[in-house]
Structures are given as C-alpha cells and as structure tokens.
Amino acid sequence: MSDSTTPAVEAAPSDVMVVGDLMVDVVAVHKDPLNPGSDTPARVRLNGGGSAANTASWLAALGERPRLLAATGDDDLGARARNELAAAGVDVVGPTLADEATGTCVVLVGPDGERTMLPDRGANDRLPVSAVIESLDPLPGWVHLSGYALLGEGSRNAGKAAISAALAAGCTVSVDAASAAPLKSVGASAFLDWIEGADIVFANDAEIEALGGVAAVLGKVASVAVKHGSAGATWTDGVDSAVADGLPVDLADSTGAGDAFAAGWIAARRAGDEVEAALNAAVAAGATAVTRQGARPATA
C-alpha cells in the first residue's frame, strides 16, 4: 500500500489540457460471433471518440475545465464533434484543417463487451507543432497526452513538443500508453525516450509488457499506474505502491474505460487526493465507463 506520507498534489486553479486525437466512432455491437465473408446482425451508431477527446469529456463530467488540443477536418463530422464536445464542457483549441477528413474509427463490440478498433486517423495525423505553442497560452496546470499523438508519425513532433513545453513550464504531465500493437511497432525504447520526464504513465497489462515492464518505464518517468481490467489497478513510483480493487459491474462496452481511468486519476489528484484515493477514483471512473455503450459520459 502507499506510504501515508506521500504528498497529494495541490489543486491547481488553471485547467487541464489534453493533447491527442479526436475521432468519430462508428460503433457496431454484435451479439453473435462474426461470420467472416457473410452477414452478422449488429446495432450500429455514431458516437464521439478518440482517446484524448474521451478523456477530456470525462474530465468535464468530473468538474474540470478541460482544453482539448486535437485537429479535425473541415467537414460535417468535424463540426458535429466540436459541437458535442463544447456542449459537454470541453474547449477544443486545436485547428480545423482544410482538405483533410476528421478522424473516424470503426469499433466492433463483441458479445463479451470487448472491442476491436479500425481507425483512420485523418486530421489527427496532421496536428501541427505551431498549435501546441498557441494552446499553452494561458498555461494549464496539467497536460495529459494520449500516446496516439506519439504513435502516429504525422502527429509525433506535436506530441513531443507538447511534452517538452509542458515540462519546461513546470506543468504536471501524464501520458496514456494508448495501445500495445503500435507500441511494439515503434519500439519501447523510442516511446520511453519521447515521454521521458513525465510524472505518470497510464497503461494496461499488454501495454506495460510492450514497454518492457514497469521497471523499464520507471527508468524514464516518475510513476506508473497499471490497469488490470476487472481486477482493478496498481500504482508505483519504484519506492511506494498502491492497489485498488476492481468493482463488480455489468460490462456493456469497454470502449473508453482507460480514458475514463485517466480522467478519474487526474481529477482526484488535482482535488488534493492522496495516491491511494486517486487510484480508487480512477478505477471507479473506468468501471462507470464500461457499464454504458460508448466511450464518453452520458452528458457528452
């Protein structure tokens, strides 16, 4: 368990800036196994998505005033996405890019609630470095980066710039590891170099494995929170540790659970919670997310 002397993060008067991807999800929920080469009945709907946009939405639902630095295309989907986020209390500060489509992701949700994603990053992969500098005025209290910004070659420089600028300005910096397969593609060493100096990394078991294990991650960042799905989560800074048990819930859709987890941690720490309480808040937020269809709170 965590040392009771571990200091809480003082609540910051400024907001949280979330950097990364904004997507429109085309979600297909199928109750029966897929029939390759044939038809499988499904319920299909259009939802807001993108790891960074989801985290920003959950932060707003938890009482924060988040900014979202993400790029959209100059199209109807982009306008819809921005309007939905604004209605949810998220200030989208990223650019609208001409001649580019808003990112879209096909999400297949199986009978067990697990999801398979087929993303087209679109405008997300053209997030310019100049937008990072502009978005940091006024300076946020916390910068959270979705790893997808680093895993996408076109947005990588902007993601790296966001971390560097935030660390130089003294902001608290958190990073979500995003997804195991692209982590393996770019390589653990490269990714860890890009996020060096961050205060915390959020990752699930597969992502931690792809990064070479907790010890390897702690060689570059201050602390790690590992998500174990229904089994809860663990946190360590290499000296102290904390454990949060999972919560019994009826799984409807696991999409966005990790994004909610990150938001739960950030909001709790900014409110002054100790590590163990923040970890429990993160698990509770993730558990809430899986009980409903879609990646965002009901108000988003």
259 is catalytic: yes
Kindly list the distances between the CA atom of residue 246 and the CA atoms of 69, 227, 284, 286, in Å, as whole numbers in the listed order. 31, 10, 8, 10
* Secondary structure string (H, E, C) spanning 122-181: HHHHHCCHHHHHHHCCCCCCEEEEECHHHHCHHHHHHHHHHHHHHHHHCCEEEEECCCHH
> Which residues does 183 contact at the CB level (< 8 Å), separation at least 6?
147, 151, 177, 191, 207, 210, 211
Rounded Cα distance between 282 and 259, Å, is: 10
Structure tokens that stand for 110 in this block: 């199986």
Check if the beta carbon of residue 246 is closer than 8 Å to that of residue 287: yes
Active-site residue, from 125, 237, 259, 273: 259
Kindly list the distances between the CA atom of residue 3 and the CA atoms of 77, 202, 237, 243, 269, in Å, as whole numbers in the listed order. 47, 20, 11, 12, 16
Write the Ramachandran bin of 46: left for phi over 0, alpha for psi from -120 to 50, otherwise beta.
beta
Rounded Cα distance between 246 and 243, Å, is: 10
User: Residues with catalytic annotation?
Assistant: 259
